[in-house]
Every structure is written in C-alpha cells, then in structure tokens.
Amino acid sequence: MLNIDAQAAVDFAGIRYYAEDLAHLLLPSKAGDAYINSFADRLAKAEQETREGKRKLIPDTQVVEAYNELTRKESFRAKMANLGALRLYRRDSYPAKTWKAVITAGRNGTNCYPGEAIFLLTVLLPADGDLTPPPASSHPYPINAPATGPFQTLEYVVMLIPGSQTHRQIVKEFDAVAKSLGI
C-alpha cells in the first residue's frame, strides 16, 4: 500500500496522505495523534518542496547519521548503521525492485526524497542499522526484519528503549531526527 500511496502522491493531498502513512509507520502511537499529524505535515511539506525542486534531495549518508544519532542517544552499545548495506538495499533488495515509488536509488543514486528517508529509518531501526542481505538461500527481506512483515511500526523498538517511554522524550528524539533530515 505504501508504494501505491507514493505513486498516487501527485498533488499535495496525495503527498500528505503518503506522509501520514510514513509518520504512522515510523512513530510509536505513544507519540500521540497531534504529534504524528504535525510530523506528517512537516514531512509532506518537505516532500512537496523536494519534488518541486525547491529543496535538495537528502543524501543517504544523512539518513545513516540520523539513525546513528537516534540510537546513540538510547544506548552506548548501539550499532552504527552500515552505509554500504543501506546502499545495496536501496539498489538490489526485493523492496527496491518492487517499491520503485518509495525507493528511488535507481533514479536518484545516493540521494533520496524525504519520504524515502523516513521509510529507510523504519527499515534500519528494527535491523539494528545493518541491512546486509541474508545468504542467497534465505528470505528476500532485510536481516533481522520483524517476523510480521518486511517492516512494521517501531512500537516494539520504543518499548525496548527505556528513555523513549515518555511522550516528551519521543517527541524530542523524533524532532531531532526530523531536524537532521531537514523536515
């Protein structure tokens, strides 16, 4: 559905709908509807401006930095994101080959739209930052992906992070992520 929503996002209403999907995918419900809607509004604006050429695409290195900053705040033992594996995922993974409206490495190289940057965070977090492909005989989804699908909301990640239990902390952390990505 996310890829269909990304394809249909040709006007602001469509972009807003796509941004709302992404906000719900990334943010835990504990963030609250008001914050999730605010985040979706900012993401929609950034996505539209990027599509109109009013702002630059986001380098994948910036996505990795946002992931690293978010996880570093939660645990000094957090793994750093693997940029090479992220690039391989964006280029050669099953999602990259089928969700071409969401994953744009084929047309944008190492840069991505704001919506794609948020999507990549939703994939990096449950994979502990490493999207190294599994052996060829394994499942096509990223290693360490949740058993419920290729990705899911990060509700379970936030439950594992003690500092993220309060609404205030969640808002603070995801505002920092949005700021680092220019959203």
| Contact yes or no for 103/119 (Cβ under 8 A) | yes
Q: What is the mean pLDDT of residues 76-94?
A: 89
pLDDT number for residue 158: 45
How far apart (Å, rounded) are the C-alpha atoms in residues 10 and 26? Answer: 22
pLDDT number for residue 60: 97
Cα 175 to its chain centre, rounded Å, is: 14
Q: What is the mean pLDDT of residues 24-40?
A: 94
Question: Model-level pTM?
Answer: 0.82
pLDDT digits (tens, 9 = 90+) for 144-178: 444 333 334 444 344 444 444 688 888 998 999 99
The conformational region for residue 149 under phi > 0 = left, psi -120 to 50 = alpha, else beta, is left
Report the number of distinct structural domains present in the chain.
Answer: 1
Closest to 45 measured CA to CA, from 114, 117, 93: 114
| Contact yes or no for 67/121 (Cβ under 8 A) | yes
Total residues belonging to the chain: 183
pLDDT number for residue 68: 92
Domain of residue 125, residue span:
2-181
Closest to 116 measured CA to CA, from 129, 137, 101, 134: 101
Average pLDDT of the chain, as a whole number: 85
pLDDT number for residue 101: 95
How far apart (Å, rounded) are the C-alpha atoms in residues 34 and 37? Answer: 5
